[in-house]
Amino acid sequence: MTTLRFRLPGRVQPLGAWLASLLPSLDRRNRRRLIEDGCVRLDGRIVDRSTRDCPAGAMVEIEDASDLLGDDPVLGVHRRWQAIVDLPPWRSGALEIGGGHELEFTCAEIRGALARLVLCGEPSGAADLCEGLARASMSVVGDLTHGGLGVAGGPRLAPVEDQGTGSDLDWPNEEVWASDAEGLGELIVSRETGRALAGGHPWILPDDASDPATRHRPGALVRLVERGAAPLGWAHIEAAPGLAARLWATGDLDRREIPSVESRVARAIARRRGLLVDGATGGTNAFRLIHGEGDGLPGLSVDRLGPLLRVLVAGRASDGFRERTLDALRVQLPTTPEGDPWSVLELLHLRRSGLAKIDCVRWVEGGIERLEAAGFETRGDRFFVEERGLRFAVDPGWDAPCEPRPGYGLFVDQRENRERLALHAAGGGRWLNLFAHTGAFSVALLAAGAEQVVSVDLSPRYLERLEENLLANVDRGVEAARHETLRGDVRRYLEGLGTEQTFRGIVIDPPTAAAAGRRFWSVKQDLEPLLHLAIDRLEPGGILLVTQNRAGPPLGLERVLERALRVSQRALSSLEPAQAGLDHPGLSGFPEGDPFEGWMLTLR
């Protein structure tokens, strides 16, 4: 039994009229039968009459529809194809299709919310191609089986001759999405969503009492209206499985009253004015310029790494303002504080189901040559930046364009904590850095005057980068003889220490979850027992810095530390928050936007 599934264009029309235009082989009597038998669903709900107006952008599903499409044209098997699809975030990559085949694709042409792809690879048929594109959220226009835009004339798919350009497909003459008409989009949300927004949470989550965000193009700006109540504000559509939209402005505002992208960027830059000045004097040139929701630019982050702006796209809501954000940054910061031209690298850290590999990293402006012209030595995939006069290698990701990673080897959100500990390390002592990563804490402690630092991590790649960072700071007071690198599980390391082995301070900045040989590390399950072990290894007056970046609500580290102290029977001198700096601003009611939860404990 075949089920048809297609998305309606961006205009309102009765269901019967849609079925008549898209399925001409279906007469009125059979249309009525399908509806009366409960075979037609609109956005997941059964439709009971053909006169029902269909919302623009709605999804239609028709069960028991084996004979409704008529005869498909015989397109055969070909090595090169072209297809018109919903505009994807990707511009090139490889697609997985039936039989284990891969087809490389490039975006050859864009018209509004649609794109024409050219696909090349092993010989493939139209059916496999349509299915593969649909799995990758790039449904073919006119493909009424796999969620394509509902237009008459069949799938916009055709083979490309060996020497042809593939530009002869029939583009639909329709408003493609519900909110394609500028400023006319509206998203009705539940009262529960209204309460969450009133509490300061900027995410609109999908629920049964809200309209589907999938009726709108990702990135579209829509007015939020609570069902049966007044407008709540404005949001940009995300349309992801677990996230409908991201808040853009609150209140019953006219669109012209919404703070502009340019004003948001200006406020973000003003907040980092001190860091920009430090960079000009050679102290710090690695920090966050734009921090997503915290700076009113949801789903988008921009890090300054020397003369490089690294743009991290974490959500498609930013499709609606990403280019304006970069334009505003170029206008308001035409050069680096040192007077060098910027290079801009963009990373799409987005869900990629049904795709073999995607070019997620691209140069928007400049490149490696421009970095080197600014005096930054590049070594393959990385170069060095500075934090408070210390040098650290960063890997922005240009050397692995199909592996978009949110990190680049230096957690700039921990900058303030490194300074906090450096003040205590000036008095010497033996220090321990667990989950050492690439060793930024270790370098900062040694440079400040720690007598010895022990760094423990399981990853040989991270430890290799740690050694590189140590060598890069020899002329800044970092002596390799005062450092010990250990590859291993941090729990086994602490369990194997003798009672006489204690530390002036311990740093614990763990991953949320990770494989650890035959064991598995989980913050939720394993952090508290680890804290017991660590507190037992602190000397009197010792310091413990612990942070966790677990997704979702905070773990409650303050309570966890208090329990660990009671078990260890150690006396507490102070317990203070250890938060990120001003370049990572948070929002009240939105703990998910904080880079981590952190506390610094000092014993008596």
Contact between 447 and 431 under an 8 Å Cβ cutoff? The reply is no
Looking at residue 330, its pLDDT comes to 96
The CATH number of residue 47's host domain is 3.10.290.10
Lowest-pLDDT range of 107-121, 132-146, 170-184, 576-590: 170-184
Q: Is residue 23 in some structural domain? A: yes
Q: Is residue 426 in some structural domain? A: yes
Closest among 182, 189, 217 to 203, alpha carbons compared: 189
85 and 16 in a common domain: no
Give residue-wise pLDDT tens across range 115-134.
999 999 999 899 999 999 99
Looking at residue 72, its pLDDT comes to 62
Which is higher by pLDDT, 146 or 403? 146
Task: Tell me the average pLDDT across 396-413.
Answer: 93
Strand partners, 86: 114
Q: Is residue 176 in some structural domain? A: no
384 and 428 in a common domain: no
434 and 583 in a common domain: yes
| Mean model confidence pLDDT for the chain | 92
Helix axes 557-568, 523-536, angle to 10 degrees: 40
324 and 363 in a common domain: yes
Looking at residue 194, its pLDDT comes to 95
343 and 218 in a common domain: no
Lowest-pLDDT range of 193-207, 273-287, 325-339: 273-287
| Cα separation, 81 vs 73, whole angstroms | 15
Looking at residue 3, its pLDDT comes to 86
**Domain endpoint, select from 257, 275, 294:** 257
| Cα separation, 15 vs 254, whole angstroms | 33
| Cα separation, 408 vs 406, whole angstroms | 7
pLDDT at 393 over 90: yes
User: How many domains is the chain built from?
Assistant: 5
Which is higher by pLDDT, 528 or 443? 443
Strand partners, 54: 13
Phi/psi for 397 (5° steps) reads 110, 5
pLDDT at 503 over 80: yes
240 and 201 in a common domain: yes
Which is higher by pLDDT, 168 or 305? 305
22 and 48 in a common domain: yes
Confidence of residue 162 (pLDDT cuts 50, 70, 90): low
Looking at residue 181, its pLDDT comes to 59
| Cα separation, 246 vs 203, whole angstroms | 5
Contact between 85 and 141 under an 8 Å Cβ cutoff? The reply is yes
In single-letter form, the type of residue at position 293 comes to: E
306 and 225 in a common domain: no
Looking at residue 431, its pLDDT comes to 98
**Domain endpoint, select from 210, 239, 257:** 257
Strand partners, 236: 221, 246
Task: Tell me the average pLDDT across 469-485.
Answer: 96
438 and 385 in a common domain: no
The CATH number of residue 350's host domain is 3.30.750.80
Confidence of residue 114 (pLDDT cuts 50, 70, 90): very high
| Cα separation, 327 vs 333, whole angstroms | 10
Q: Is residue 235 in some structural domain? A: yes
Give residue-wise pLDDT tens across range 3-57.
899 999 998 999 999 999 999 888 888 888 889 889 999 999 999 999 999 999 9
Q: Is residue 537 in some structural domain? A: yes
The CATH number of residue 243's host domain is 2.30.130.10
Phi/psi for 516 (5° steps) reads -135, 75
Look at the block and give the residue holding tokens 């700096």: 581
386 and 283 in a common domain: yes
Range of the structural domain that residue 136 is part of: 77-159
Give residue-wise pLDDT tens across range 268-278.
999 999 999 98
| Cα separation, 381 vs 401, whole angstroms | 11
Looking at residue 165, its pLDDT comes to 66
430 and 522 in a common domain: yes
Q: Is residue 170 in some structural domain? A: no
Closest among 385, 376, 362, 374 to 338, alpha carbons compared: 374
The CATH number of residue 108's host domain is 3.30.2350.10
| Cα separation, 288 vs 589, whole angstroms | 22
Q: Is residue 91 in some structural domain? A: yes
pLDDT at 458 over 80: yes
Phi/psi for 372 (5° steps) reads -70, -35
Task: Tell me the average pLDDT across 495-505.
Answer: 94
Q: Is residue 164 in some structural domain? A: no
pTM, two decimal places: 0.93
333 and 427 in a common domain: no
What percent of the chain is predicted at pLDDT more than 70? 94
Contact between 95 and 355 under an 8 Å Cβ cutoff? The reply is yes
**Domain endpoint, select from 333, 364, 394:** 394
Confidence of residue 263 (pLDDT cuts 50, 70, 90): very high
